[in-house]
Structure 1
Amino acid sequence: MQIKYYQTCFKDMLTPIYDSMEAEQLFLIALEEIEAKTRIDLMMNPNLETTKTVVWESVLDELVKEKPIQYIFGNAYFYGLTFTVNEHTLIPRSETEELVEWIINSVDQSKPIRILDIGTGSGCIGITLANELPLARVTLMDVSVGALETAKNNAIKNDVSVETILQDVLALDTLKDKYDIIVSNPPYVRNLEKVEIKNNVLDYEPHLALFVEDNDPLIFYRKIAQLANDNLQEGGMLFYEINQYLGEETKALFESHSFVDVELRKDMLGNDRMIKAIKHN
């Protein structure tokens, strides 16, 4: 069977679910994962054949069911690194790469620092920071055993050394160490916003890592701010990914906890998406 046949199948079968560009991108990801080929390879040899028709059919069947392609192949790519993802972890997103870039550009890379990544999931934030900041000592925290095991394996896969803590941050009264940076991408989607969530997220990604109750959507931000008052070094920084609809409310929360230079930043799509706060000296 020619591979171009499946290119047509992806377009015909997936465009009712995704737009044509997304369907083509899914095909190209599958092409690389299944055949180790790229768009250029197919352009140079349009008559490329495959012996993996069963794999192609299986992948297409899963995609029609709206299963994310990252879960189908078990891999996601983030800041130049490869991460294992599964039902215990969210799929890393490009806006989170922007948060990581902000952190990297905000630190003095000539000095050793301690970083805590709360709600680490796949470990994409903390592991990337450990990779990019060789003098950083990084700790990953998560409440999910499955997520933390995945993060440990991702650290090994990407050849970085991290510490891990299995812990529900909401149950903590204090952190055991002092940190220079605390970063978190906590659950922040309100239940009322579920109507905006696509099925490929709603049906497959872990709700534990996504959703908070409508009556207290900033519960994780408040708790971590309280912990940071005692366990963040003077002049230390907090970084968060946030709910785009609650930017000003989140900023006001940190200001009410005596953090200074609180900065709200938009992502590449123009949504309020991340925030930085500094502990007052």
Structure 2
Amino acid sequence: MAVEQELYTIRDYIRWAASRFSEARLFFGHGTDNAWDEATALVLQSLHLPWDCDKDTLSARLTLVERELIVERVGRRIDERLPLAYLTGQAYFCGLCFDVNEHVLVPRSPIAELIENGFEPWLASPPNSVLDLCTGSGCIGIACAYAFEWAEVDLSDISAEAIAVAEKNIKRHQLEDRVRAVESDLFEGLQDQSYDLIVSNPPYVNAEDLSTMPAEYQQEPEIALGSGADGLDFTRRLLKEAAARLNDGGVLIVEVGNSWPALEQAFPEVAFTWLEFEHGGHGVFMLFKEQLTQIK
């Protein structure tokens, strides 16, 4: 007998999905870290219900169409190793919901914690202009627009498909008056614009790590992950060009993940400030414009 003919309530499907995920030994790293939370997220998002819905709701019986949808998504999560966000078309970052698809990374950067803290103590005052470089879904830049309500924010990415997703999210959050998306390879498409704050989660995975990543990460766009043998092809360019695009007193924040030792080795003369995170994360550095002007 088919599963959808045996199970009926939300609670039934969360338990069933969690068991299937544990049995399949999935990798979790796109918003959850265990089978139960992954199953809960899949079921509730498929039903358009909030994470904190009333517990009594879990006893509600589902329609046949709803049951079939959940069974299909659980199957695809296991068989195709698709990240949950690609199945539901949405992901959360800084408490905000974003549209996502296979053309952008699933939002998960520890930079979210910096945004929520207003980038203190690195910014002397709230920025008037922000650039989210390698924006993907636009989540970092849009979250910055919420954090700094007077700031003009640019979202840039080399991928036209990613820019289309970012534009959709700008409209979703009704920020068209302050946020724009620009297709650009690094700074090439941004004309002579300069910024008080540049934030970037660029491709930084080295070739060895890229080839051995879990199957779920292999579903994400390679252009947003890999960056040469040591993972630093893009970051090298960024460090040499960023000073010219920062206003006086401007700040650069960049995530390089596990490539941070290679970065320090490549630029031994640079005093990177490596930021610490209360909720987990590593490999994010901060530099002031004055430090960047010394990089050759």
Normalising TM by the smaller chain, what interval? 0.7 to 0.9
Cα deviation, residue 44, structure 1: 3.1
Within the alignment, does 1:57 sit opposite 2:71 as a pair? Answer: yes
Within the alignment, does 1:222 sit opposite 2:236 as a pair? Answer: yes
Within the alignment, does 1:7 sit opposite 2:24 as a pair? Answer: no
- Equivalent residue for 1:250, pick from 263, 270, 279: 263
Provide the C-alpha distance between the structure 1 equivalents of 2:129 and 2:51, rounded to a whole number of angstroms: 42
Contact persistence 1:264–1:275 (CA under 8 A)? yes
Provide the C-alpha distance between the structure 2 equivalents of 1:40 and 1:118, rounded to a whole number of angstroms: 33
Provide the secondary structure at the position in 1 that maps to 2:274. Answer: strand
TM norm structure 2: 0.81
Contact persistence 1:139–1:162 (CA under 8 A)? yes
Provide the C-alpha distance between the structure 2 equivalents of 1:159 and 1:236, rounded to a whole number of angstroms: 27
Contact persistence 1:179–1:236 (CA under 8 A)? yes
Percentage of matched positions with identical amino acids: 27
Give 2:83's aligned residue: 68
Give 1:275's aligned residue: 285
State the AA in 2 paired with 1:17.
R
Provide the C-alpha distance between the structure 2 equivalents of 1:278 and 1:81, rounded to a whole number of angstroms: 28
Provide the secondary structure at the position in 2 that maps to 1:235. Answer: strand
Cα deviation, residue 228, structure 1: 1.6
Provide the C-alpha distance between the structure 2 equivalents of 1:64 and 1:25, rounded to a whole number of angstroms: 15
Provide the C-alpha distance between the structure 1 equivalents of 2:268 and 2:27, rounded to a whole number of angstroms: 41
TM norm structure 1: 0.85
Provide the C-alpha distance between the structure 1 equivalents of 2:139 and 2:45, rounded to a whole number of angstroms: 20
State the AA in 1 paired with 2:263.
T
Within the alignment, does 1:167 sit opposite 2:179 as a pair? Answer: no
State the AA in 2 paired with 1:68.
P
Give 1:120's aligned residue: 135
Give 2:228's aligned residue: 213
CA RMSD of aligned residues (A): 2.8
Q: How does 1:127-276 map to 2 (within 5 A)?
A: 127-160=142-175, 161-169=178-186, 172=188, 176-194=192-210, 196-202=212-218, 204-214=219-229, 216-244=230-258, 246-251=259-264, 256=269, 262-268=272-278, 272-276=282-286
Cα deviation, residue 80, structure 1: 1.5
Cα deviation, residue 196, structure 1: 4.5
Cα deviation, residue 18, structure 1: 3.4
Within the alignment, does 1:27 sit opposite 2:27 as a pair? Answer: no
Provide the secondary structure at the position in 2 that maps to 1:4. Answer: helix
1:133–1:40 distance in 2 versus 1, CA, 3 Å: closer
Moved more, 121-130 or 176-185: 176-185
Moved more, 79-88 or 31-40: 31-40
Cα deviation, residue 35, structure 1: 3.0
- Paired residues, what number? 273
Provide the secondary structure at the position in 2 that maps to 1:280. Answer: helix
Within the alignment, does 1:17 sit opposite 2:25 as a pair? Answer: yes
Contact persistence 1:174–1:227 (CA under 8 A)? no
Give 2:103's aligned residue: 88
Provide the C-alpha distance between the structure 2 equivalents of 1:45 and 1:280, rounded to a whole number of angstroms: 55
1:98–1:175 distance in 2 versus 1, CA, 3 Å: farther
Provide the secondary structure at the position in 2 that maps to 1:104. Answer: coil
Which runs of 5 or more residues in structure 1 are unaligned?
A: none
Provide the secondary structure at the position in 1 that maps to 2:275. Answer: strand
